[in-house]
A = this chain, B = another copy of it.
């Protein structure tokens, strides 16, 4: 009986596409997390948590978003917080990388099928060196997060004592590197109390940026070093990330400098730190050192745009992805210049990549519009900007909020959970799974084996 079940399970796996397995894996992980968070032991009050709130928190953790319906620091017990931390780590590094590590450590052979599955999970561009790459993901993550935790301990141990201080350091190092944006500061206040603390700002920002670049890029930074020799993917990611950081920084300095609700009362260096932090965090990090609801309208609008663009593919973040936007802009540029081909870094970007980018954009816009519409129906009193902000934050798995999340209705919580899930897996991944034609799509349209203009999209 058990044997038969195992066989039918194997049969099930054998007839699923990598994408379907990936989606099911994430869904299962969320379900496990929900069950654990519903236990009385998970909450500080010792009472069980409602299904919908546990589901929301588990989804937010696995999808490394950071939106919360209950305050992380005061509602959940240490056990509950540990569950969240583990979900973030698994969700952030990709549960498939974890599975691979498990296989490797157990000395098992990795089949081609496994490799394809892993590849699909970490969004790599070739099958060779997958195992090596997953090892790299695992060890580099451990090193970076340990260093981050040690540095954060210099801030948190003096403030909260040894035990709590170390716990806080580990939690915030993990959530920052995985760009999850959860915090234990209590009362939804994130790092607003540390707006002008140099060490904390620098460490948290570094963790966020390193995690947000994606492992393929950090690996290029470490092993290839020279910009010219890097993969085209890394070049586009580095340039677009750098541009968005500098642009956001200048923007926030200008528009928030004298805003008393945000950084108006900070010292000059505090203002610079806060602006930089504010430019880093919409790139899917989701922590904040200034009050989001207090931002000026232009700043809120820019944050919405940055959240929609999101992170780079193959990273811990969501959104339509920097490379998608880059390909679209380059295409428009070539149309305006009257050129037949889209050329970047001396390589042609092929029609299939352009069509794939276009699809990501259209599906993303469609999804986001639909969810905004749903939320306008389920949350009748909510301001329009707060609703748009919330949906963009969930889609980009960013986790910033203008304060709407804790007041969401049940239907609203489900809509936002779904948005986080789709945002994390990528709109195109979900759409492929629904249309059940991934095989053809990969052959004809997939961006993976194209010799020219190889950029990861969506």
Flag if B338 contacts A301 (CB, 8 Å): no
Does more than half of chain A's interface fall in helix, strand or loop, or is it mixed?
A: helix
**A372 touching B301, Cβ below 8 Å:** yes
Complex formed: what's the CA distance from A338 to B354 in Å? 14
Closest to A377 in B: B298
Asked if A359 lies at the interface with its beta carbon under 8 angstroms from chain B, I say: yes
- CB of A246, distance to nearest CB on chain B (Å): 18
Near B by CB (< 8 A), chain A positions 6-55 give none
Contact present for B337 and A435 (CB under 8 Å): yes
Interface residues in A330-376 (C-beta closer than 8 Å to B) = 331-332, 334-340, 351, 354-356, 358-359, 361-363, 369, 372-373, 376
Q: How many copies does the complex hold?
A: 2
- The one of B339, B359, B439 in contact with A336, judged by C-beta atoms closer than 8 angstroms, is B359
Contacts of A377 in B (CB 8 A): 298
A444 contacts B by Cβ under 8 Å: yes
Decide: A363 and B332 in contact? CB cutoff 8 A.
yes
Are B376 and A301 within 8 A (Cβ)? yes
Other-chain residue from B302, B388, B441 in contact with A335 (beta carbon distance below 8 A): B441
Return chain B residues, CB-CB under 8 Å to A432.
Answer: 336
Q: How far is the CA of A437 from the CA of B336 in the complex (A)?
A: 7
Which of A296, A340, A443 has the most CB atoms of chain B within a 10 A radius of its CB?
A: A340
Q: Is A155 an interface residue (CB 8 A)?
A: no
- A-B residue pairs, 7 tightest by C-beta: A338-B440, A384-B385, A338-B441, A336-B435, A297-B376, A338-B437, A335-B359
| Subset of 20 A-B contacts with CB under 8 Å | A297-B376, A297-B380, A298-B373, A298-B377, A300-B384, A301-B369, A301-B376, A301-B384, A328-B362, A329-B362, A331-B355, A334-B355, A335-B355, A336-B435, A336-B441, A337-B440, A338-B437, A338-B445, A339-B444, A383-B384
